[in-house]
Structure 1
Amino acid sequence: MVDVMGHVAMALLWTLPAWFVWHDRVSAVFVAIAAVVAPMPDVDKYLAMAFPDAVHHHGVTHTVIFAVAAALVAGGLAAWLLTDRVDGWVHGDRFDASSMFVFAAGAVLVGWLSHIFADMLSAPDISTAIEPLWPFIDGSWGIDLIWYNNPLWNVVFLAVMLLAHGVLAYSAFKVDHPYRIEKA
């Protein structure tokens, strides 16, 4: 699942619950952030070309600690830069700075962790080992469940996730959702 389609599809899978938590636009933004972030851990491929002695693929950007750090930075930036704009844009949900921080950090964390998980399902066959719990636990974690870059799997998985999100988005935008948590 290592190609971009597979990573986006995994992020879409992980964000399906967003449609049951927030109102229409807010759910869509959460899903979009996670989907955009999902391919980002692979920036280490390009960093490895520039710094071959210091960086390798499936290295530090593919760890839970890096995912948390990226989420905290993104959440802080979103709270600082976007709180006032977003609060006026959403209907029914109130976004103060702390809500914006948690929302943005959560979306980035979900997108980043979904990438790591997807690599854990497919990395062992021809790629470098993935050590998601480094520096706390040393060693590779992964199962060779899916071939590294199976185009059929990636396309079908992405299509199914897009269809699922389309149905949930239609439901969220067109009808009162039976599981939506209403804010007082």
Structure 2
Amino acid sequence: MYPTGHYGVALLVSAPAAFVLGRRAGTLFSAFVLLTAVLPDVDTHVPGVRHHGVTHTLLFGVASGVVVGLFAAGLLVAYVRFAGPVRSSRLTARNAFEWAAAGAFLGVLSHVTADVLVVLPGTQPVSPFWPLFERKITVEAIPLGAPARNLALLVVGLGVHGLVYRLTGDGVES
């Protein structure tokens, strides 16, 4: 799948959270999910790690969520220690952890979902539930070499977010 397709699926996966969170927080959260949606392809830069292997699993999504969440909570704690309290009394290390962990997990989930939708020549289908079971899952809903369909996924994702933005107010932040 092309990056445009991955980003479109990430936008679709993050839309329900964006709706609940409201305009500002939802937009920020969706942007974070977009950034983390490329995490599974780190396997293309690590020698000895097979593409569509362990980084394309829900286990990797959970592990990424924990690591990214701990990093975010640690950054907040360090910021408070050196710069003083944050303006929002609702922003705690626990909230930072939960927000970042959920965003990273959804980013990985969206990537794995997108890769289930298409199989690239020369690569293996993904086993998203590894190590529980190694069954490879493919739907092949989007033919490879279809940049227009990948672009259509991005346009649909952006359209859904436009609708979410229009329907929501400030949500949780109010």
TM norm structure 1: 0.81
Residue equivalent to 1:18 = 17
1:34 lines up with 2:33 in the alignment? yes
Rounded Cα–Cα distance in structure 1 between residues aligned with 2:142 and 2:31: 25
SS for the counterpart of 1:148 is coil
Rounded Cα–Cα distance in structure 2 between residues aligned with 1:145 and 1:162: 20
Residue equivalent to 1:157 = 153
Residue equivalent to 2:165 = 169
Residue equivalent to 1:61 = 55
Residue equivalent to 2:2 = 3
Note the C-alpha offset of 1:182.
Answer: 7.0
Identical-residue share of aligned pairs (%): 34
2:146 alignment partner AA? N
1:135 pairs with 113, 127, 131, which one? 131
SS for the counterpart of 2:101 is helix
- 1:88-141 Cα distance to aligned partner (Å, 9 max, x none): 3x6xx8221111111110011001101001111112765312111111102211
Could you tell me whether the CA contact under 8 Å between 2:18 and 2:29 is conserved in 1? Answer: no
**Matched pairs, number:** 169
TM norm structure 2: 0.85
Rounded Cα–Cα distance in structure 1 between residues aligned with 2:76 and 2:146: 38
- 1:21-54 Cα distance to aligned partner (Å, 9 max, x none): 223321111101101111221121222xxx2xx3
1:118 pairs with 92, 99, 114, which one? 114
2:72 pairs with 72, 78, 87, which one? 78
1:147 lines up with 2:147 in the alignment? no
Which protein, 1 or 2, shows the higher relative CO under an 8 Å CA cutoff with sep ≥ 6?
2
Structure 1 residues 129 and 164, CA gap change in structure 2 (3 angstroms): closer
Rounded Cα–Cα distance in structure 2 between residues aligned with 1:143 and 1:87: 46
Could you tell me whether the CA contact under 8 Å between 1:125 and 1:144 is conserved in 2? Answer: no
1:105 pairs with 101, 110, 130, which one? 101
SS for the counterpart of 1:16 is helix
Note the C-alpha offset of 1:160.
Answer: 2.0
Structure 1 residues 67 and 113, CA gap change in structure 2 (3 angstroms): same
Bigger mean CA deviation after superposition, 55-64 or 125-134: 125-134
RMSD: 2.4
